[in-house]
Chains A and B, each alone.
Chain A
Amino acid sequence: MNFDLTEERQMLQDTLRRFLSDRYTTTARNEIIESDAGISTEIWNELAELGVIGALFTEEQGGFGGAGFDIATVFEELGRAGVVEPFLDTAVLGGGLITALGNASQTALIDDVIAGGLHLALAHGEPASRYDLSRVEATAKVDGDEIVLNGRKAVVINAEAAGYLIVSAREGGGAFDKDGISLFLVPTGTTGLTLQGYAMMSGGRAAEVTLDDVRLPVSARLGAAGAGYGALVDTVARANVALAAETMGAMETATELTREYLVTRKQFGRPIGTFQALAHRYSDLLIELEQARSAVTNAAGNLESTDRDLQIAAARNLMARVGRLVAEESIQMHGGIAMTQEYELAHIAKRIVMTDHRFGDADYHLERFIDLSAA
């Protein structure tokens, strides 16, 4: 048994942590959030150069990592610094689906993704689908050697920056069927594709996407017709490991900021951390943080095992519960200062809590866990 990171991952972690603590300061990050693009191309390119994107792909795919612990290592650091740039969307989700399903000419895009030159976005969720991965009502109809897409996609993160959207649409089955879902690589300039973009609560941007008779060559399909669901599930599993790790990093920042504040802020002539009412609650956060670290380890370490889905449901449920506790208690123990936008904790707390709304909250993952453990 060995819980240490490999030397390579340790190096990646150190490099990333150093770079982000130098460059991704609260001020720099807040400026990025307020910019029109909502993300920084400069930071993106520099991180790509440091190998952050490459670490999320295997050697065969052109990267140098791609395992659960690579994902966890990268995303924990991104979470620690409250990074808003869409590594999850471009690399894990977009890149993940292309490598899982793509033919040679489609997977050729990955080199550009790893180099930082191409953004991607997953256009899968729909206005009524909530977190249900099989609920797809958008349609794809073959018309000669073309495909015609129609439908609406909700909260498509990073759609505006993306060169391609990976769009799910039905070629068979009913609204909830796992069979019949196909995936398509849709260039964002395609006629009939409209994006209504907006900023998000925790930084970055998303868009509502309308597909109105979007015509593509049949060769835009990723993998076989109607057989995209399996790859979606596998890719979302990897995204869930990333989200759990990101929350871990963010929670460490939140508790560290809280520790610093408890020992420096004075009221009634003494540091507020000397009030036991706060000291015990801070201790509780640290106890829960150890639970959280183990949950992330379980999820990352089981990414290729038969236990994968159960472990991931467990991890996301636990991270959602602990995340809410850490975010709310850290704010409370700070008092008014944590309510201000420019203070680091405010953004970190938003990152933690808003993770609930990506691929399922505590209840969703609890239900998954109950189903999987009964099976």
Chain B
Amino acid sequence: MDLSYTAEELAFRDEVRAFLAEKLPKDMSDKVRRGENLGKEGHELWHSILNNQGWLSYSWPKEFGGAEWNAVQRHIFDDECAAAYAPRIVPFGLSMLGPVLHKFGSKEQQDHYLPRILDGTDWWCQGYSEPGAGSDLASLKTKAVRDGDHYVVNGQKTWTTLGQYADWIFCLVRTDPDAKQQEGISFLLIDMNTPGIEVRPIVLLDGTPEVNEVFFDNVRVPVENLVGEENKGWTYAKYLLTHERTGIAGVGFSRAGLDALKRVARIETANGRPLIENPLFAARIAQVEIDLMAMSTTNLRIISQASAGQAPGVESSMLKVKGTIIRQEINDMMRRAVGPYAMPFASETVEGDNDPIGPDYAGPVSAQYFNNRKLSIFGGSNEIQRGIIAKVKMGG
């Protein structure tokens, strides 16, 4: 047992640090630190900076132009990025569609779509969820009917994150209405500019237009946009979910969040003393830090197993549940830390020409608290994750 990074891993970490120090634009990390929206251009800029370094595709195999880092390297990179307040990599093309195309896409699809993900030509969004199909994804109803060399798609997707920016959407659609639920689903790539597609924004409770409804009205999709075989889409979607996911615990985000919290708690005062010296608040911080220290090691234990070739099973469900609880707890404390200045509505205080209301760190904290309630809902809710753990362990 050795808890420290190897010399090689340390050298890699230093390389990542040096890169971030040199290439991460200051105004970009400031925005991330303040919880501001980067907009499409901001995300695209960061992707192109990473791509120039050859690191955007860090999880992709070399044969597809990837850096093919192992799980420990990826973890180091994610950790360093979070600590430096780098933007997150938008996952839809890179870590969701990419791996599916690597494994199940045709040669033509790989050659066409993969480079366009890396160079930023195509912004992808994920079209899985529907109004009636959330946790029970396999009950999805959007249907695709074969008509000559096209599929005709009708139905509705929802919760489509950043769909307003997207050029393309990868969708799960029902191609066989008579088969057992999971067996009649196909994986289809759809150009968002096709006639018959309508995108309507959904404003989230913190005021951000982050997700959308996407409506399909007789949308004609060329058959060559089918990934893999017809009616096998569920297998591909599940591959994604069981595909090793190292970032799921969000340790880097929690670390950065905890550091920010402590910084704020040193500045804020209660009864004339720094908040960080207040026994109740100090106890809250300590409690979450103790949890986070243990979870970081849990995360590393699982990552090193993954690096050794063992696919994590229920462990990723465990990391998701614990990781989201910790992140949400830190958001909650940050909101408390700023006192009455948690009340101003962020969009008026952090955007535009207005002077910030109160200390500049206070602007986004309640918006983040409310927005991050999503962490325990999406990507398989925490209830669904707990169900998986119990089912696997009890052999249900």
Contact = CB atoms under 8 A, between A and B. Distances in A.
Interface in B349-396: 349, 354-355, 357-358, 366-367, 369-370, 373-374, 376-378, 381-383, 386-387
B339 interface: yes
A335 B381 CA distance: 8
B378 to A, nearest CB: 7
A295 to B, nearest CB: 19
Contacts of A24: none
Contacts of A132: 270-272
Contacts of B377: 331-332, 335-336, 339
B135 A358 contact: no
B300 to A, nearest CB: 28
B348 interface: yes
Nearest to B208: A341
Contact of A341 (B134, B205, B336, B340): B205
Contact of B355 (A127, A155, A196): A196
Interface in B132-161: 132, 134-136, 139, 158-159
A2 interface: no
B21 interface: no
Contacts of A342: 203
Interface size class of B (residues with CB under 8 A): 35 or more
A367 interface: yes
Contacts of B346: 201
Interface stretch (A52-60, A226-234, A349-357): A349-357
B60 interface: no
Contacts of B271: 132
A363 B275 CA distance: 11
B382 A155 contact: no
A200 B383 CA distance: 32
B376 A332 contact: yes
Q: For chain A, what secondary structure do more than half of its interface residues adopt (helix, strand, loop), or is it mixed?
A: mixed
Interface in A253-287: 266-269, 275, 277-278
B205 to A, nearest CB: 4
B211 to A, nearest CB: 8
A198 interface: yes
A335 B130 CA distance: 13
A341 B207 contact: yes
B203 A131 contact: no
A304 B301 CA distance: 59
Contacts of B284: 363
B348 A198 contact: yes
A339 B358 contact: no
Given A324-B332, A340-B203, A341-B203, A154 B272 contact: no
Interface of A: 125, 127-128, 130-132, 135, 154-155, 157, 175-176, 196, 198-202, 206, 208, 266-269, 275, 277-278, 324, 328, 331-332, 335-336, 338-342, 346-347, 349-350, 353-354, 356-358, 361, 363-364, 366-367
- Leading 4 A-B pairs by shortest Cβ distance: A346-B205, A267-B136, A363-B280, A199-B345
